[in-house]
Structure 1
């Protein structure tokens, strides 16, 4: 699982869309989707994790656990 998919999974649990996260945090449209193939900036990832009420470490562990 990519980091994008982990964020999307947690967002769905919180009844939030990726678009809504990007809009509320004033991020560029589609930036989270790019995490499918690249690593985000640490500060942006932290902002998203805070918004979702989880830690960045949790998102990384979720992404890694689905790959195994």
Structure 2
């Protein structure tokens, strides 16, 4: 699963949208969506992880674990 999908899954569990995350963190609209095909800057990934109450490693692990299923 791409990193974007992992973030979306965690956000959905918390009733948060990708748009809300981007808006609250003041990152560009569509930035997280581009993480479907590209790796994010670490500072942005850290900010998103903090916002969701998880670690960047958790998000990366989740995205890799789902790929293996």
TM-score by length of 1: 0.99
Cα deviation per residue 1:18-37 (whole Å; 9 max; x = unaligned)?
00000000000000000000
Q: What do you get for the CA RMSD once the two structures are aligned?
A: 0.3
1:14 aligns with 2:14: yes
Please, which runs of 5 or more residues in structure 2 have no aligned partner? none
Please, which runs of 5 or more residues in structure 1 have no aligned partner? none
Matched with 2:38 is 38
TM-score by length of 2: 0.98
Matched residue SS, 2:47: helix
Q: Aligned pairs, how many? A: 68
Matched with 1:23 is 23
